Amino acid sequence: MKKPARRDGTPDRNNKKQRPTRSETGGRSDRAETGHRSGRPDAAKGKPGRPDPAAKNKRGKPKSAKPQRAQAQAPKVSNAKPARHQYADADRPAGPPQGDGMRLQKVLAQAGVASRRAAEELISQGRVEVDGRIVIEQGLRIDPENAVVRVDGIRVVVQKDLVHLALNKPRGWQSTMSDDLGRPCVGDIVSERVAAGQRLFHVGRLDADTEGLLLLTNDGDLAHRLMHPSFEVSKTYLATVSGALERGVGKKLKEGVELEDGPAKVDTFTLLDINEGKSLVRVTLHEGRKHIVRRLFDAVGHPVIRLVRTDIGAVALGDQRPGTLRVLGRGEVGGLYGAVGL
């Protein structure tokens, strides 16, 4: 068989035998075969690499490599500890924690301190104290049953069930909640409140012949401290005594008088009037012993004819009529708590 000649008539010696087709080679491609022969396993396995210089397209030009899909990089793992607020919820509201309880400004409004808006101004001005800490943030929630709230240093009673009353006990009435002999007593005056469920008791006692200010409350801790002599809560009396007081009686009472159960004295002594053989004096003392004022004046020779208690700490009787009750004001209640360290 004659070999094909070139156009100029010379035989084509470089013409090689025609390569078998894909069907004749059992499905292997020319590139795979060429790669196997050239010793490049990557080309034979079909792995991406540089284009085979022996592979040509229909026009006889080298084939260009097909674009390969970019390989996704594996995520980097960091063993560093996250910051404290790295995963904080962005929607969390700023400000104090919103837990159980009642908002402070609402508590102050219900206690009669001020309106809610005015209470917010008190808080922002740093005039409100909760459990010994000054509060300036708005929206703080507290437990009214246990929290100790003060405004300008004065305690505010925020518990709804606490009751503080001032009674002007009439002369001849017993300082008891009930009397077996049927005599008039303090319990008769507050009977409606007791029937409504209020558990009231009187703070201290006044003997039947002594009239004036008597406190009633259902706060046992406050009552106990007001009666305890170690807290030295002052009490003021107006006493009408027999005889015209001589000079030196007041000094003697302030220096101290020896009684059968120990010495006693008054804190202040003021002579107000002398008329028709009687003297009107005002004395203040923190003693709580029974009949202490009467016994002191008996010791100096001027028995008491009439005795009226007018003040207990920050609470004053004023012009309150005998046998009437009134609810103590916020300042009066705060003064009582402050006097006994509550």
- Quick one: the chain helix, strand, coil %, rounded to 5? 20, 25, 55
pLDDT at position 214 over 50? yes
What length is written for the chain?
A: 342
Whether residue 183 contacts residue 304, with contact meaning beta carbons closer than 8 Å, is answered with: no
In CATH, 102-156 is 3.40.50.300? no
What is the model's pLDDT at position 14?
53
CATH 3.10.290.10 in the chain, residue ranges: 102-156
CATH 3.30.2350.10 in the chain, residue ranges: 234-312
pLDDT in tens, 94-121: 444 445 678 888 888 877 777 788 888 8
CATH class label, 234-312: alpha beta
The CATH-assigned architecture of domain 164-229+319-339 is 2-Layer Sandwich (3.30)
Residue 319 is a catalytic residue? no
Q: Using alpha carbons only, give the angle 161, 163, 165 rounded to the nearest 5 degrees.
A: 170
136 vs 157, more confident: 136
CATH 3.30.70.580 in the chain, residue ranges: 164-229+319-339
Of the ranges 73-82, 250-259, 331-340, the best mean pLDDT one: 250-259
153 vs 71, more confident: 153
Q: Amino acid identity of 143?
A: D
How many helices, marked H, and strands, marked E, lie in the chain?
10, 17
Catalytic residue among 207, 209, 221, 261: 207
Q: What is the pLDDT of the chain when averaged over all its residues?
A: 77
Selection from 51, 328, 86 nearest residue 214 by Cα: 328
Distance CA(108)–CA(117), nearest Å, equals: 10
Q: Phi/psi of residue 87, each to 5°?
A: -110, 30
> What tokens does 212 get?
């004036």
What is the model's pLDDT at position 89?
45
pLDDT in tens, 312-326: 988 999 899 999 999
* Portion of the chain with pLDDT greater than 70, in percent: 71
pTM of structure: 0.62
> What tokens does 262 get?
């120990």
What is the model's pLDDT at position 94?
44
* 274, containing H or E segment: strand 268-275
What is the model's pLDDT at position 86?
45
pLDDT in tens, 16-29: 455 555 544 444 44
